């Protein structure tokens, strides 16, 4: 596992897994408390979530949790392919409102560590895509929030057109009206 820092958003980390392959398939460590602690990535996992997306061009996001339940995430695609989209919402961050995008797939073995108050989204680039999220905080519906994907402050060029999106995500607020 190699962990590098992505400068576009403060504290964002790219995690490259190196699977051990043999005739049976492969084995890879997804989480190691020693390594994550050493690299100052969260060490306590409160939840592990899976997102299954049946169709290509399904969009989820931009989601985050507000104080006092801000969450850190480690996102990994174990089946299929997605374009991750992130936006830094930390007003005191030198990368405030910066956007970042990365393709992660079952083939490239890349995971993304997302710091607190960085809104997270993804667009599926294949059918039957599965994402796993390791979360530093429990889900608290009252503190769950998000941003509208149509917000002009979000400068992300999606690789495909968004075709499937929930009503909830379509009605998320804009940063500025």
> What's 140's domain CATH number?
2.60.120.10
- Judge if pTM exceeds 0.75: yes
Q: What is the pLDDT of residues 93-124, one digit of tens each?
A: 999 999 999 999 999 999 999 999 999 999 99
Mean pLDDT check: name the lowest of 25-34, 47-56, 77-86, 141-150: 25-34
For position 169, what pLDDT does the model report? Answer: 96
Helices (H), 32-160: 33-38
Domain count, the chain: 1
- Does residue 177 fall inside a structural domain? no
- Does residue 176 fall inside a structural domain? no
Does the pLDDT of residue 176 top 80, yes or no?
Answer: no
The secondary structure of residue 150, as a DSSP letter, is: T
Contacts of 82 (CB under 8 A, 6+ apart): 53, 103, 104, 105, 122, 123, 124, 125, 129, 131
């Amino acid at each position: 596992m190699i962990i590098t820092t992505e400068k576009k958003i403060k504290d964002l980390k790219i995690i490259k897994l190196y699977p051990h392959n043999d005739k049976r398939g492969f084995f890879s460590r997804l989480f190691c408390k020693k390594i994550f602690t050493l690299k100052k990535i969260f060490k306590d996992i409160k939840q592990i979530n899976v997102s299954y997306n049946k169709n290509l061009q399904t969009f989820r996001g931009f989601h985050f949790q507000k104080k006092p339940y801000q969450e850190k995430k480690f996102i990994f695609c174990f089946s299929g392919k997605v374009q991750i989209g992130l936006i830094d919402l930390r007003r005191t961050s030198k990368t405030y409102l910066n956007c970042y995008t990365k393709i992660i797939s079952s083939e490239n073995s890349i995971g993304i560590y997302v710091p607190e108050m960085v809104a997270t989204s993804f667009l599926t680039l294949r059918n039957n895509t599965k994402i796993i999220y390791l979360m530093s905080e429990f889900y608290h519906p009252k503190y769950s929030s998000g941003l509208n994907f149509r917000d002009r402050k979000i400068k992300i060029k999606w690789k495909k057109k968004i075709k499937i999106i929930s009503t909830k995500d379509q009605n998320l607020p804009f940063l500025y009206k």
